[in-house]
Amino acid sequence: MNIFRLAGDVSHIVAIIILLVKIWRSKSCAGISGKSQVLFALVFTTRYLDLFTSVISIYNTVMKVVFLALAYATVYLIYMRFRSTFNSESDSFRVEFLLVPVAGLSFLENYAFAPLEILWTFSIYLESVAILPQLFMITKTGEAESITTHYLFFLGLYRALYLANWVWRYHTEGFFDQIAVVSGVVQTIFYCDFFYLYVTRGPWTGLTGTVRLWYKIEQRQDQSPISQTMGRYWG
């Protein structure tokens, strides 16, 4: 294990802890996308199904347990402990638009057509887009709390450090994981775009073009009579 991976893991944990502390201290999950957190919990669940069957190292096993525990603790706080503060109307991203393509791609592009391998691939693809509901929520409300931006910063730093980790491993070991690298690049682009625009143009424009496109689609759907009728079922 190299310094880039260690720093990346630390940044990832710090990001989640920032979110948990924010929710616990404020006793509110306002501004936080529960859907993104559920997707991240699904990412860790499908990725770490080998927790009790494959032990690479003590560090690896401990980190798996930590990420699973933190992910489900976040989901618990949002949907159970502080459910009354959760704004479901703002958290309206259609996650099926992510889950269906990701599931299909994981069956088509993987390293081995085996259950655990497909689920691992699914988790890699899903992680690259799991933050979209959060960015979409910021787009819809037009604002982001400083804590939320700190959370996104450390998530972006985690992905950037993991890219450096893959470059280092390729240089020193000749190791190259195409699925993880390509997905990681996509995810990093979302974070970089968000922060560049947020810093230079303000909170509303500090959002990726992809997320703004989703918001326009959502607005058009909300204006149609059919969507208004079905909204209660699809919200």
pLDDT at 89 over 80: yes
| 105-117 confidence digits (pLDDT tens) | 999 999 999 999 9
Q: Are 234 and 221 in contact (CB under 8 A)?
A: no
The confidence score (pLDDT) of residue 197 equals: 59
Q: How many CA atoms lie within 13 A of 149 on its CB side?
A: 16
Q: What is the mean pLDDT of the chain?
A: 83
Q: Compute the distance between CA of residue 17 and CA of residue 22 in angstroms, rounded to an integer.
A: 8
Q: What residue spans define the domains of the chain?
A: 3-228
Residue 31: left if φ>0, alpha if ψ -120 to 50, beta else—which one? left
Q: What is the pLDDT of residue 54?
A: 77
Q: How confident is the model over 161-207, as pLDDT tens digits? A: 999 999 999 999 989 899 999 998 888 888 876 676 556 555 444 44
- Of 112, 121, 117, 99, residue with least CA distance to 179: 121
CA distance 15 to 158: 9
Confidence of residue 230 (pLDDT cuts 50, 70, 90): very low
Q: How far is CA 207 from CA 1, 15, 104, in A?
A: 34, 19, 27
In tens, the pLDDT along 8-45 reads 999 999 999 999 999 999 999 988 999 999 999 999 99
CA distance 189 to 233: 33
Which tokens belong to 74?
């976040």
Q: Which of 196, 218, 193 is nearest to 208 (CA)?
A: 193
Task: State yes or no: pLDDT of 210 exceeds 80.
Answer: no
pLDDT for the residue numbered 33: 93
* 3-state DSSP of 102-152: HHHHHHHCCCCCCHHHHHHHHHHHHHHHCCHHHHHHHHHHCCCCHHHHHHH
The residue-averaged pLDDT of 54-65 equals 87
Whether the per-residue pLDDT at 60 is higher than 50: the answer is yes
Rounded mean pLDDT, 136-161: 81
Q: What is the pLDDT of residue 90?
A: 87
pLDDT at 201: 52
Calculate mean pLDDT across residues 145-162. Answer: 84
* Mean pLDDT to the nearest integer, 85-96: 89
